[in-house]
Amino acid sequence: MLHAYGNPKREYSYEYFNFYQSLKQAGHEVELFDYMGELQAFGKEGMNQKLLVRVQKWRPTLAVFSLYTDQFDPQAINALRGHTKTFCFFHDDTWRVEYSRYWAHQFDYFSTPDLHGETKYRELGLANAIYFPFGCNERIFRKLDVPRKYDVSFVGGWHPYREWLIERIRKAGISVEVAGYRWPKGEIDQEGMIRLFNESRINLNLSNSASWDARYLASSPRAFINRLRSKKNIEQMKARIFEVSGCGAFQLSYFVEGLAHCYDIDREVCVYADVDDLIEKIKFYLAHEDLRESIATAAYKRTLKDHTFAQRFQTMFQRMGLLNE
């Protein structure tokens, strides 16, 4: 998608900034097929046909997909495989399990952000999974020469559990700058987000999986109902971890499997166990600037070394045998 969620009134999409731009910056010849824009203009059948015709004419080495819901026809995707290799990103396969497994059969290769995802898929007879966690486009997420002026900040969509965490932090006397979809301040654009990362002494990376913390569940009827309805029953390692680190900024994050595979805990990224631990660690790291900055610097160096999307794609192309094509 060219725009976030296919909405032309919103900013460019995550895929545009991080996948398309990273590939272009690496010197690859890339064409973006805005399937949501084409869908709105020509309908589902027309969009799928336009994609097939474009691939037949151009014959790219690889067609990369980032699916949303049911915009594509499986028959059209399979028809492409006669003209190019296909790869699909599955960013949420830890909880969109049936969706990911269904679509995985339609592509030559597909991604999983799960550290053990390749093994899990192989046991299902799907041998072409490639471990591809999130990363960052280092030309976008970067250090800025600005002072740290916020004690704590959080950027991300509103969620009742996140709201509960923020309220607990504020009740502890800690100021938190918050921006994102459905928060009172609203969304900020990407440049504003990058600036906020750089201006914050502590950046929070808060889970949006519904929590079983009894204090949260008892905080409101909405919290309990949301927990029961939520399909998200497992944590994911999201892009924010790499983006904040790519800005040379300090962060406190929820713990998720795979995080320790990417960063050294307590040396490059710090984690919290629950809301009480989070508040205690915020106070500790606010009081120890040198330690905080040394951890942020270590995370920044590790990100540039191991976690840029240019490196992610290079590994992916190698696994697919495309580097000599």
Q: Is 169 in the same domain as 299?
A: yes
- Supply the pLDDT for residue 184: 95
| pLDDT of the chain, 325 residues: tens digit per residue | 999 999 999 999 999 999 999 999 999 999 999 999 999 999 999 999 999 999 999 999 999 999 999 999 999 999 999 999 999 999 988 878 899 999 999 999 999 999 999 999 999 999 999 999 999 999 999 999 999 999 999 999 998 889 999 999 999 999 999 999 999 999 999 999 999 999 999 999 998 765 667 787 778 767 666 666 666 667 788 999 999 999 999 999 999 989 999 999 999 999 999 999 999 999 999 999 999 999 999 999 999 999 999 999 999 999 999 987 5
Q: Which stretches of the chain are DSSP H helices?
A: 14-15, 21-25, 35-58, 74-80, 97-104, 117-122, 160-171, 190-199, 214-217, 221-229, 240-246, 259-262, 275-286, 289-306, 309-320
Do 114 and 129 share a domain, yes or no?
Answer: yes
User: What one-character DSSP code corresponds to residue 108?
Assistant: S
Q: What is the CATH number of the domain that holds 213?
A: 3.40.50.2000
For residue 264, what pLDDT is reported? 98
Give the domain CATH number at 24: 3.40.50
Say yes or no: 314 and 302 in one domain. no
Same domain, 107 and 118: yes
Residue 145 in domain:
no
pTM (two decimals): 0.91
Beta-carbon-side half-sphere exposure of residue 296 (alpha carbons within 13 Å): 25
Cα separation, 296 vs 276, in Å, equals 23
Do the domain assignments include residue 14?
yes
Is 125 among the domain residues?
yes
Count of structural domains within the chain: 2
Which residue range forms the structural domain that includes residue 216?
150-306
Torsions phi, psi of 142, nearest 5? -145, 165
d(CA 93, CA 296): 30
Instruction: Identify whether 95 is part of a domain.
Output: yes
